[in-house]
Amino acid sequence: MPVRPQDIEIYGSASMADSDATTDIGGAVDKTKRVVFADLSAADNVQVVSSAAGDVTQTVTVTGRDAAGVLQNEGKVLAGLTPVAMTSVTNWKDLLKAVKSASTTGAVALEAATAERSNTAAAGAAASITLDAGASATDDAYNGMVLRITGGTGAGEIRRIFDYVGSTKVATPARDFATAPDATSTFRISRGMVFEKTPDEVMQVRRIAYDAAADASGGSARTYYDKIFFTNLHGTLALTASQISEVTDALGIFDFALETSLGGSDTNGLGNSRLVAPGGYTFNSTAKNVANSQNHTAGASQGVWTKLSLAAGAAANETTWTLRETGTTS
């Protein structure tokens, strides 16, 4: 089987800052951290749930902003297949980070209390689920969202939706289902975050530039640096002629640079915070060739330094930045 798009996963690095006090940003790939942007469509509560009934002792702690933009933090103990809602904060809007306290048997979801779609599937397979006829007709409408099988065949399974085709209603999960859903399977799709169990157990799901903020008007421009990794999860095949390119940057505030070798472990220097650039890199938004002569070998990770530039007085804003890796496979 060739390298599939979902075989390219984005992981975090050893040191990702929660504040400007953290130093030595970057380092080696950390496959227990997965990097996402996860906003709710409107202020809503969130809940945590596992795909395994026995997961009843682990805590999932979420940090995010409420509808007023205030940073909030709350944790709940899992109750297996039963969703547990937050109680101290019930109007979440931007999800910045979620952390699992200990290893779990199943995959775990942090999901919006209000579903984007729930119904009975029309069909399913190991690598796809066909939603009901009333599901969105728009391509990619559910991309990145949490899919949970709530009843019928495969009940309890949790997956992140990698791709969705509106004309066929077919959703492709980021990881194949352990039990293929079918026309008896009921599903729930919501915004949120997924802690995958395989191929590597994810313990933290987070954003880059966590809680970054601009200086007040009249102050100085600020730049924030973070490091992520594009990893080829295919067991044997390389992605050749591979490039990483910017797809969207609605506000024009992001740039990036690539490490010069696969599996790199550069930091931005001893004692330096995320406001200090790593040495030897040129940051811009142009497409860049993956290291190793564009031969992204199986299991290897390409380090990507990110740069967020905020002008003094810049207002709070919701935006999108998308990077994509392309290449040749067989």
pLDDT at residue 218, as a whole number? 85
The pLDDT of 200-205, averaged and rounded, is: 98
**Predicted TM-score (pTM) of this structure:** 0.95
Give the model's confidence band at 221: pLDDT under 50 very low, under 70 low, under 90 confident, else very high: very high
Give tens-digit pLDDT for 129-185: 999 999 999 999 999 999 999 999 999 999 999 999 999 999 999 999 999 999 999
- Bridge partners, residue 12, by sequence: 30, 228
Give the model's confidence band at 273: pLDDT under 50 very low, under 70 low, under 90 confident, else very high: very high
Cis peptide, bond prior to residue 278, ω within 30 of zero: no
Give tens-digit pLDDT for 277-328: 999 999 999 999 999 999 999 999 999 999 999 999 998 888 889 999 999 9
The pLDDT of 251-276, averaged and rounded, is: 97
pLDDT at residue 319, as a whole number? 84
Nearest Cα to Cα of residue 257 among 279, 232, 288, 229: 288
pLDDT at residue 320, as a whole number? 85
Give tens-digit pLDDT for 112-130: 999 999 999 999 999 999 9
Nearest Cα to Cα of residue 78 among 184, 195, 192, 166: 195
The pLDDT of 195-215, averaged and rounded, is: 95
The pLDDT of 50-72, averaged and rounded, is: 96
Which are the contacts of 1, defined by CB distance < 8 A and separation ≥ 6? none
Q: How far apart are CA 299 and CA 238, in angstroms?
A: 9
The pLDDT of 62-85, averaged and rounded, is: 96
Give the model's confidence band at 252: pLDDT under 50 very low, under 70 low, under 90 confident, else very high: very high
> What integer best gives the mean pLDDT of the chain?
96
**23 residue type, one letter:** T
Which of 30-39, 70-79, 133-142, 248-257 has the lowest average pLDDT? 30-39
Domain spans in the chain, listed from the N-terminal domain onward: 5-35+208-328, 38-113+198-204, 118-189
Give tens-digit pLDDT for 27-54: 999 999 999 976 788 899 999 999 999 9
pLDDT at residue 317, as a whole number? 82
Q: How far apart are CA 178 and CA 36, in angstroms?
A: 24
Cβ-in-10-Å burial (0-12, 13-18, 19+) of 148 comes to: buried
pLDDT at residue 330, as a whole number? 82
pLDDT at residue 120, as a whole number? 98
Q: How far apart are CA 114 and CA 104, in angstroms?
A: 25
User: What is the Cβ-side half-sphere exposure of residue 134, based on CA atoms within 13 angstroms?
Assistant: 5
**64 residue type, one letter:** G
pLDDT at residue 38, as a whole number? 67
pLDDT at residue 204, as a whole number? 98
Tell me if 44 sits within 8 A of 94, measured CB to CB: no
pLDDT at residue 296, as a whole number? 98
DSSP 235: S
Nearest Cα to Cα of residue 302 among 249, 273, 267, 262: 262
Residue with tokens 């994810």: 202
Which are the contacts of 53, defined by CB distance < 8 A and separation ≥ 6? 80, 81, 156
